[in-house]
Amino acid sequence: NAGVTQTPKFQVLKTGQSMTLQCAQDMNHNSMYWYRQDPGMGLRLIYYSASEGTTDKGEVPNGYNVSRLNKREFSLRLESAAPSQTSVYFCASSVDNEQFFGPGTRLTVL
């Protein structure tokens, strides 16, 4: 089992460019999450999906969109990247209150 996988691992964008961060899990979990982690800020929830076909906003959703493509995949899209979106992005899935995290995507917006 690969657990939670994320692509890409690193990305550099220019302001205004768009991109999609991909996340997949092979643990058959219903719930999936996207977080961002900034220095000194801890992890902050962007969006989550409690089950296939549903998505909800977290603490910091502005500037992002998500798609729960199927039970395995949950993508995060930046339509017009801004320097304030420079961060490390983690995807997670959960069962029985335990969240399993992917390796992260380090995104820099210039």
Choices 7-15, 28-36, 67-75, 78-86; region in contact with other proteins by CB under 8 A: 28-36
Choices 9-17, 19-27, 69-77, 97-105; region in contact with other proteins by CB under 8 A: 97-105
Residues near other proteins (CB under 8 A), total? 24
The CA distances from residue 76 to 1, 20, 23, 57, in Å, are 23, 6, 8, 12
Contact between 72 and other proteins by CB under 8 A: the answer reads no
Angle at 106 between CA 109 and CA 27, to 5 degrees: 135
- Of positions 17, 50, 61, 73, contacts other proteins by CB under 8 A: 50
**Nearest to residue 23, comparing CAs of 107, 105, 108, 106?**
105
Q: What is the binding site for other proteins (CB under 8 A)?
A: 31, 33, 35, 40-45, 48, 50, 56, 58-59, 90, 94, 97-104
